[in-house]
Amino acid sequence: MLSRVEADQPLAILDEALATSARTGHRAFEAELHRVRGEILLRRDPTNPAPAEEALRSAIVVAKEQGARSYRLQATIPLAKLYESTGRRADAHAVLALALDGFSATPEMPEIAEAMSLSARLA
């Protein structure tokens, strides 16, 4: 768990990066910014997962819009873990199934194997 003080600076940097992305139209890393923001929010306050869920869902939406399947998968893993930790196993399995569609395990992207393992555990 991160303290509020430990999380505030990275969150401020991420918020500024997201604002810059919106202002300039350079959105190449927007999904990743939302994903990291969600993970920090979850670590800062695991008892209030709603802001983290919102950030992770934003990451997935942006990645999907951009056709960035790997960023989508990378954002789906922490969202699925969040769902699992809050008793939403079916939701966790569903988001993983959508994100994994078309992927095959490869050593170059260990996130695929992690997502597959998590999906199998949730099935």
| Domain positions in the chain | 4-122
**pLDDT of 62-121, one tens digit each?**
999 999 999 999 999 999 999 999 999 999 999 999 999 999 999 999 999 999 999 999
pLDDT of residue 4: 82
Kindly report the pTM of this predicted structure: 0.94
Phi, psi of 71 (to 5 degrees): -65, -35
**pLDDT of 39-62, one tens digit each?**
999 999 999 999 999 999 999 999
Q: What gap in Å lies between CA 93 and CA 80, rounded to an integer?
A: 7
- The DSSP 8-state label assigned to residue 108 in this structure reads T
pLDDT of residue 16: 97
pLDDT of residue 3: 85
With beta carbons less than 8 A apart as the criterion, state whether 61 and 54 touch: no
With beta carbons less than 8 A apart as the criterion, state whether 69 and 54 touch: no
Q: What are the b/e assignments for 17-37, b being 16+ CB within 10 Å? A: bbeebeeeeeeebbbbbbbbb
pLDDT of residue 5: 79
**pLDDT of 8-25, one tens digit each?**
999 999 999 999 999 999
CATH number of 4-122: 1.25.40.10
